[in-house]
Every structure is written in C-alpha cells, then in structure tokens.
Amino acid sequence: MSLTTEPLTRAFETADASTLGNALAADVAFRTPILAEALQGEEITLRYLAESAKVITDLSYYETVGDDELTIMFWRGQVIGRDIEGATIVKTDSDGLVNDLTVLMRSWSQVQLFRDAMLIALSDTIPVEFWVLGVGTAPEPDGNAEAGPSTKLPLAPGVAFHSPMLTKTVSGDEKVQKIHKLIGGIQGTRTHHARFESEGRRVEYWTCVIDGHQQQGIDVLAINAEGQLTDQKVWLRPWPVTTILRDRAMAGGLPFLGLDVWLLPAHPSPLA
C-alpha cells in the first residue's frame, strides 16, 4: 500500500492543522459528505476540517483497506451525542501528498445534524450554491458496468442490512431483498472503482447517477462459507443526493419500514 495512514489518521483525529497541511497537496480536491460541489485547494480544505473537528467528537479510525491507487479509512465519532460513522478515501500524487480526498458518512439523520452545524460554521466561507443541488450534469454510468454486487449475492436467512438512511438495522432475507430491489430501481446501474476482498469480507467503492447527480457509495459485505451475504453496511455521499434517494425510498412504501426506522429516536441510541 502506497500510503502510510497512521500519521494522517492521527492528524484527522486530533485536527492537527500542521500535520494535515504537510500531508495535503496545494491543489487538493475535497469531496465532502455534505456539499454538492467539491472544494478546491489546501486552504479551504483545512478550514473545513478544522470546523468539522469541532462538530464531531471522539473521532477514531478503526480500519484501513486499499492498494496503490487509493486507501479507504473507516472511522467513528459523535455529533451532539449521536453516533456517526465515516469512510475517508485518499489518493496521493507522485510526491506522496494527498491530492484527492473524499468523505462518506452514515446515516442520513446523523449526517443532517452534522450538515446543519457545518452550514452555520462555514456560512462566511462556502457559497450557498455548494450546499444545494443545481442542474444535474453527471454523465450517465456505463451501461455495461457491473451492477451492485449485493444484489447478486444470495442472502442468508438472517442477513442484516445497515442502511445509510435508516436509524435501525433491518434483518431477514425477504426484507433485505425488497430493500435492494427498491434502492436498485432508484440508483440504477453502478460503476465500480475499487474492490478489496479478504476471507469472508468484501469492500466495494462505486458511483451511480440519480437525476443527473453523482452519488458515491461504499459497501462492506460479510459473506459466509456458503457464499451468502450475512451483513451489509453502506456509506453514501453527498447528503443532498442521498436526500433524493431517501425521499424516494420512503415513498416506496415498504410496509415494514415505518416512521420509527426513518426518524431519529428522542434519545441517542447506538447507530444501526
């Protein structure tokens, strides 16, 4: 793996501006979990990261996967006492500096809390059009691209689905199959950019297009000895596109997805 992640993860955890500044290329492109447009350049990226460190507490990285092309670092934290999870995708240039940074988060309701706090904190710096969707201009995915792997894997009877939009885990092959069908009909064809496999586990990084807007996603899939999917956890970005997906999924009317799985409970509870 080309990137030594320990100094970088420590810098993200501690919001060490000096270390982060030394790690970022001057022209770094930063695709945040909440903005519809990418940020360009070291200065605005450092400002965003500094403000996010004030909103997300108890941040810790717990796993890294990757190759010579990119590295994915998984982390956990809290926003206003609510659990939040993220995946940071890092690419480096020939000098070993981070020139491409992408962050995905889950789930939607917790990310909304983060987004609202960041909107206030960065209102003097990031234009309003970065926070909302404009006219969709993303290219349509390749019609020959591989469809989402989770729809192809046979489902174990007790498979657990940890949605990027729901506040509770959904279990059972019949329910998860219906969710896959509903979401797949909204997202359409996925284009896969990276796959990392180990025994009983697969990590997928992919993109799709919804209404002309690109959505990026990461699936972590647990697979048993029979080749069945037993557990699936999903991260998405950006929040405005995920909102379209969430609204349409809600309108899909699956009877076992009541309001309690879409809305945050009154008191903090473990993230699904």
Amino acid at residue number 44: I
pLDDT in tens, 145-158: 554 444 479 999 99
* Model pTM score: 0.92
- CA 130/CA 175 separation, integer angstroms: 36
What's the pLDDT at 142?
Answer: 56
End-to-end Cα spacing for the chain = 31
**Are residues 240 and 210 in contact, defined by beta-carbon separation less than 8 angstroms?**
no
What's the pLDDT at 13?
Answer: 76
Of residues 170, 168, 151, the one with CA closest to residue 229: 151
The pLDDT of residue 233 is above 50: yes
pLDDT in tens, 100-115: 999 999 999 999 999 9
pLDDT in tens, 7-46: 777 777 777 777 888 889 999 999 999 999 999 999 999 9
Query: What domains appear along the chain, each with residue ranges and CATH number?
Result: 6-128 (3.10.450.50), 149-262 (3.10.450.50)
Strand 24-31 relative to strand 98-106: parallel, antiparallel, unpaired? parallel
- CA 5/CA 102 separation, integer angstroms: 15
pLDDT in tens, 217-226: 999 999 999 9
